Amino acid sequence: MAHVPASERRPQLVQAAIELMTRVGVTAASTRAIAAELGVAQATVHYTFGTKKDLYRAVVEQVTADFMGAVRNASPGDGPFGTQVATLVHAIWEAATGADGHCMLLSEFGALAMRDPDVKEIMLGFQREIEGTATEMIGALAAAHGLALAVPADQIAVHFLTGFDGLTARHLTLRSPGDEPDRGTRRGLDLLVATTVGLCLDGPAAGWPHPVG
């Protein structure tokens, strides 16, 4: 096989790892299997990444970049604030649960992070980025409508993402990636939109704890 520069080989190996991990799972995707996926020697994987942590980081960074790109490219469309929030949430849902299975892949890394400090460090970066992007999008949409948020955007983002993570976990348990969500999940997504919009416009209901900070 002709020599391929490291600058080209690295993204090829990352994509091969993503495709293999999506099919068989993160822990089953050994360096030998990833090398076979691309048709290169196992030593090429070790030379390119050095450690498994480096490989995992590259995979999470690429999956995160793909997902965040789809989220940032989502258009809220036209209409009142609540309608635009709903449009964005459903666009994010499609990006997260599409047929590529990347939502399941990130969920696996999240589970590994509970016991592996190296993976935890990697997933903390993902969490910060997605919370930052959600905060930015909420703030920008409110500004476009001339709204003063009743609760800080970063706290609304945490509320939304916590509910969204729970719903995607439910969907992955009940369905395969790419399948339509069941009625309960769809209803849960509608309720998540409603509570998120409510926090933006009205703040916590009477009797709720006040936001910290």
Distance CA 93, CA 104 (A): 13
Q: What pTM was computed for the model?
A: 0.82
Residue 72 one-letter amino acid: R
The closest of 203, 10, 7, 185 to 96, measured between CA atoms, is 185
Of 148, 142, 173, which is closest to residue 80 (Cα–Cα)? 142
Residue 150, φ and ψ in degrees, nearest 5 = -75, -25
SS3 assignment for the chain:
CCCCCHHHHHHHHHHHHHHHHHHHCCCCCCHHHHHHHHCCCHHHHHHHHCCHHHHHHHHHHHHHHHHHHHHHHCCCCCCCHHHHHHHHHHHHHHHHHCCCCHHHHHHHHHHHHCCCHHHHHHHHHHHHHHHHHHHHHHHHHHHHCCCCCCCCHHHHHHHHHHHHHHHHHHHHHHCCCCCCCCHHHHHHHHHHHHHHHHHHHCCCCCCCCCCCC
User: What is the residue extent of each domain of the chain?
Assistant: 74-201
Q: How far apart are CA 166 and CA 43, in angstroms?
A: 39
- Closest to 157 in 3D by CA, of 59, 71, 29, 60: 71
Q: Is 156 exposed, middle or buried (0-12, 13-18, 19+ CB in 10 A)?
A: buried
CATH number 1.10.3470 given to 74-201: no
pLDDT tens, the chain, 213 aa long? 456 666 788 999 999 999 999 889 998 899 999 999 999 999 999 999 988 889 999 999 898 888 888 888 878 878 999 999 999 999 889 888 876 667 888 889 999 999 999 899 989 988 998 999 999 999 999 999 999 999 999 999 999 999 999 999 999 888 766 678 889 999 999 999 999 999 999 866 544 555 544
CA-closest candidate to residue 135, choices 156, 165, 164: 156
Quick check: 149 and 200 in contact, CB under 8 A? yes
